[in-house]
Copies of this chain bind each other. A is one copy, B any other.
Amino acid sequence: LTTSDPGLKTSPLAPSGGFPDLPVVLGVSFSAVAAGVKYTGRTDVMLASVAPGSAVAGVFTKSTTRAAPVLDCQDKLAALHAKGASKHGFAILVNSGNANAFTGAVGATSVEAISNAVAGALKIPVSHVFTGSTGVIGEPLPHGKITDAIAELKSRLAAGGVADAAQAIMTTDTFAKGAGTSFNIDENIVNIAGIAKGSGMIAPDMATMLVFIFTDAAVDQAVLQSMVTRLNRKTFNCITVDSDTSTSDSLIVVATAQSGAKITNANSKSGRIFARELEKVMLNLAHQVVRDGEGASKFLEIEVTGAKSKADAHKIGKAIANSPLVKTAVAGEDPNWGRVVMAIGKSGARADRDKVSIWFGDILVAARGWVSPDYREDDGAAYMKNQDLKIKVDLAIGDGTAKIWTCDLTKDYVAINADYRS
């Protein structure tokens, strides 16, 4: 499903209270317009304008069939990082409704046309314009509709426009996703605000669809990039909705330096405080993507401990999270730990069957290779009725750990992806 459908009901797992009240990040302004790229009656293009002196970091899908805007962002980011700090401002323009993916040479033409128009309007180099597109694959992006809207986008730019931006980038999302935090570093108040979109075709390597995070801390470019890469592995790379990886996944983090808090070393006290707060925002957004998983009725955390290595723990967590049999058991509130055993076995990671233990919540279900003598099926069945669930697996052969987050596989997932035509 790649079109916005007003018939889609808000996910039952959506955070209560609606879109959060995000802090204003100094040096960033946002706007959104209804350009009619594909949808009608809603905004579908957003612009973020970032003040000169900012640092930018990014992580992108590893898909070999990635979309034109992703390739362009990767090229521009590599060139910027090679040059060091820039004195110019940046811009991020994102449309929904069309992914500009698998569109051959005209895909790059569209990215260029949009980038040029934004650069001209904001008086920044075209190399400082990042674009993102999600929606239908294989149709040329009608970029004229976007370039025609840039004057209006510029005129509407406002520091408080982040919620509108989050709305404009939605496709099959049933709720707009935002997360933020404010904290002190050396007497300075630092703000972080991020938005995300994504609900299907979510499975990392590189889990998100589109995520944009802004902070007014002053973070050294190289420090920001390595921090984002590292934190991505613990957040967006640890979620999966349906094991399918998008051609458009992009995460861009911008630090405007306007708060005065300086981070030049990830291991300094300020560096550690900042990384901890950034991770919170990233994890919050990653969880929101899972909570908007197509057809999802349960949110599932899988914790793996005692694996031979960190990589093995991740493999086992992902094998459990992506198993259709585990996911349908969760949907059916069935404490079917045999399917967890199966998924551990197929993961490709090292395991000793007779050392494996499994918990559903706090309930020890299987101990050292067999059903626990104290386990009562009724307890497992009662636990599975919760909306938020936790499965813990201990391999008892090493100290590798991982946490993976996913949702269940329901008939609604099939209905959304089979019954509707995209």
List residues of A whose CB falls within 8 A of some B CB. 2, 61, 63-66, 101-106, 136-139, 200-201, 203, 205, 242-247, 322-325, 328-329, 331-332, 334, 336-339, 341-347, 349-354, 356, 366, 368-371, 409-411, 413-415, 417-422
Contact = CB atoms under 8 A, between A and B. Distances in A.
Given A102-B341, A341-B102, A421 B332 contact: yes
A334 B418 contact: yes
Given A244-B323, A325-B244, A421 B334 contact: yes
Give this chain's copy count. 2
B104 A334 contact: no
A201 B342 contact: yes
Nearest to A343: B244
B417 A325 contact: yes
A342 B64 contact: no
A325 B203 CA distance: 12
B417 A410 contact: no
A410 B420 CA distance: 13
Nearest to A421: B334
Contacts of A370: 102-104, 106, 138
A141 to B, nearest CB: 12
Contacts of A338: 2, 101-102, 136-138, 422
A104 B369 contact: yes
Contact of A409 (B65, B343, B414): B414
A418 B64 contact: no
A418 B65 contact: no
A247 B328 contact: no
Contact of A325 (B106, B242, B336, B345): B242
Contacts of A336: 422
A65 B368 CA distance: 12
A417 B201 CA distance: 22
A247 B65 CA distance: 34
A375 to B, nearest CB: 10
